[in-house]
Amino acid sequence: MEDYLNSRMVVEPFRMLDCCFPVNGAAAVVVTGVKQAKDCKRKPVYIHGMGQGHAGLPARAGYDRETTSGAKRAGKNAYKMAGIKAKDVSICEFYDAFSYVGIASLEAYGFCKPGEGGPFIADGHTAPGGKLPVNTGGGQLSGYYLQGMTPITEAVIQGRGDGGKRQVKKNDVILVSGNGGRLQFHGSLIMSPMEKLT
Amino acid sequence: MTKSFDDMFKGYIDAGELRVPKYKNSGEITGLSARNDLDDWEQEFKWVKASGNATLYSFVIFHQQYYDDRPVPYNVATVELEEGPRIISKVDIEDMADLEVGMKLKAKFNKKDGLVFVPA
């Protein structure tokens, strides 16, 4: 916290440590059918749901784009396809290029009410051992910023049980988010090591 | 060739006028970025004078210098016009600690910035 408070202001209220740092790197995931995946060397992680929400940037009164991004619609669609609700999610891997995006995502995906995301994190619920571990690999802010591959690869790692010391025991339903532009484009995935969720 | 939506808006600003686009059919006043890609917007919109009354919707304060002629710190504000559109602008204010979301503002023109807002 001291490092954070000592980091310089970039655009107030954002300090340098509120912003992730782009890195060069590469990661790959193989997407294939369920039948084919069974023949692979490693156990697959299944995609149960996906959703998109593109809210646009309506520059008008009545649209609170800072707090209602496309995440809400994307999440709703992904939950629906997977046949789950927010309370069923056990791990979140968010695209958190700026610190507040994680807070806004918790609210948009239905884990907290608007305005309660900050206190939810401060209470330790998203930390290791918390009831909803978030960005278990450090996310883009503390891990590495390889755009959408950061949350997706960590979801695969957690789904396979490859997390080592950071492995979350209850890894049955993993939510992955991705966003772009000024948060007006949003995508979600529901992943699991289980072939069937129910 | 018709001028772009942005050019029209900025043209009015250069002339010391704040205008907003209004649909000719419905009378609805729309956002300034709404139809920037439209070539023949002139058939659909007319530009009407705005009152200049506004509310501070959100703001940030830049501490990193990006432009030589913009010494830091300076504010960048989302200002909601009385007519509905929100625009990115600047609040000309002596002490930035006095900036408060929801405060009433008034449009003002100056040579350096063109359009700015000041506390009403």
Same domain, B34 and B70: no
**Residue B64 near chain A (CB below 8 Å):** yes
Say yes or no: B32 and B58 in one domain. no
B58 shares a domain with B19: no
* E strand map for chain B: 19-23, 45-49, 53-62, 74-81, 86-89, 104-110, 114-119
**Sign of the C-alpha dihedral, residues A17, A22, A23, A25?**
positive
CB distance from B86 to chain A under 8 Å? Answer: yes
Distance CA B108, CA B52 (A): 8
In terms of domains, do B66 and B36 share one?
Answer: no
Looking at the structure, tell me whether residues B44 and B57 fall in a common domain: no
Query: What's B76's domain CATH number?
Result: 2.40.50
Give yes or no for B30 touching A (CB within 8 A).
yes
Say how far residue A87 (Cα) sits from the centre of its chain. Answer: 15
pLDDT at B66 over 60: yes
> Using CB atoms, which residue from A9, A57, A59 is nearest to B63?
A9
A79-105 pLDDT, tens per residue? 999 999 999 999 999 999 999 999 999
Same domain, B61 and B104: yes
Q: What is the mean pLDDT of residues B59-86?
A: 93
Phi-psi domain of B12 (left: phi exceeds 0; alpha: psi -120 through 50; beta: other):
alpha
Cβ–Cβ < 8 Å for A182, A100 = no
CA nearest to A56 within chain B: B34
Number of structural domains (chain B) is: 2
Lowest mean pLDDT among A37-51, B4-18, B47-61: B4-18
Candidates A4, A46, A95, A144; catalytic one: A95
For the stretch A57-67, pLDDT in tens is 766 666 776 66
Print the domain residue range for B41: 5-49
Confidence (pTM): 0.87
Residues B43 and B84 in one domain: no
Active site residue A79: no
Q: Looking at the structure, do residues B81 and B111 belong to the same domain, yes or no?
A: yes
pLDDT band of residue A74 (cuts 50, 70, 90) is: very high
Is A87 an interface residue toward B (CB < 8 Å)?
Answer: no
B70/B102 same-domain check: yes
Query: Is A144 a catalytic site residue?
Result: no
Q: What are phi and psi of A152, to 5 degrees?
A: -70, -45
